[in-house]
Amino acid sequence: MLKYILKRLGLAILCLVGVSLILYILVRMMPVSFVQDKINQINQGGAVVSQDVIDAMYKMYGLEDSSFLGILTGYVNWIGALLRGDLGTSWKYGGPVLDEIVNHMGTSFIIAFISMIFEYLIAIPLGVTAATHQYSVRDYVVTVLVMIGISLPSFFFGRFLQSIFAGNLGWFPAGGLEDASKHYSGIMIAFDQLWHVMLPIFVMTILSIGGTMRYMRTNMLEVLNSDYIRTARAKGLSERKVIYKHAFRNTMIPIVTMMAGVLPSLFSGAMITEQVFDLPGIGKIALDAMQAGDIPFIMGDNMFIAFLSVIGVLLSDLMYAVVDPRVKLY
């Protein structure tokens, strides 16, 4: 087991180096330029920026050389800083990239974690009941409702809920994380923030149920058609015991594959949903940073997500050996 983990960690390092190189090249080739936007803002204010000042600004941000060799040089400098534990300073937000990520990650994590819990609590039973009642009215109703949820764009569904529950009914806040007109203290702050994220949690839960439910239904149908399930039924076991003791346990093996994406999804944020509800999560500020051409923040945030993705895949592989004793890791 230890040898397998060390080998996978070595491959993970190579993977992260390759991802960082490709990502840095793509970021440097983006059509948006943070320095050019700054220059345009100064020009719109009526001031005239000389060429010397422009060159100095590009040099200050390390963007003076846009050739391939210059991009590689910038990448080497970024890697050197990363090895020293420095992700750089965000150009847009003005603070250390790591601090900006940590400060805004909590909101995204709470929303993603709560919605993930509701997703599995709803999707797994729906998948099981749809599979055990295949081609019945229950199966068709669940499938249709799930397909509707999958087909809804997050921005449309979010605005739709805002219009009804925040605008017309006034049950929930339209956006933001806190009510600026009220001054809470203690635990009331947490309740106020939780009330503000109810609609985003509902949006993310409804839109994510469909994929998990369909995956669960497909796996359950495959297991129910296995020979050992027919043998269990032939022995006279109750249908409940056949489904939940024999079939359900084996459907968890493919479900483990989906767990590889859980870890990065908890910390990556939901860009569109956070933008719709004006939440100060990592997804929203990452989108704003990308639109502004904030290279240090884009690199730091994406490399953090890449690191979590690699760890998530490794943990998923290790979980195979836990849920299925037949799997051996060497």
Write the pLDDT tens digit of every residue in 222-265. Answer: 888 888 888 888 888 887 888 877 787 777 776 777 776 777 88
Distance CA 279, CA 110 (A): 12
Distance CA 146, CA 214 (A): 8
The one-character DSSP state at 89 is: B
Nearest partner of 55 among 44, 46, 65, 45, judged by Cα: 65
Distance CA 132, CA 16 (A): 43
Exposed / middle / buried, residue 47 (Cβ in 10 Å: 0-12, 13-18, 19+):
exposed
Summarize pLDDT for 20-68 with one digit per residue, the tens.
999 988 888 888 778 888 777 777 766 777 777 777 888 878 887 778 8
pTM of the entire structure?
0.80
List domains and CATH numbers for the chain: 2-83 (no CATH), 97-323 (1.10.3720.10)
Would you say 268 and 109 are in contact if contact means Cβ atoms under 8 Å apart? Answer: no
Q: How far is CA 273 from the centre of its chain?
A: 11
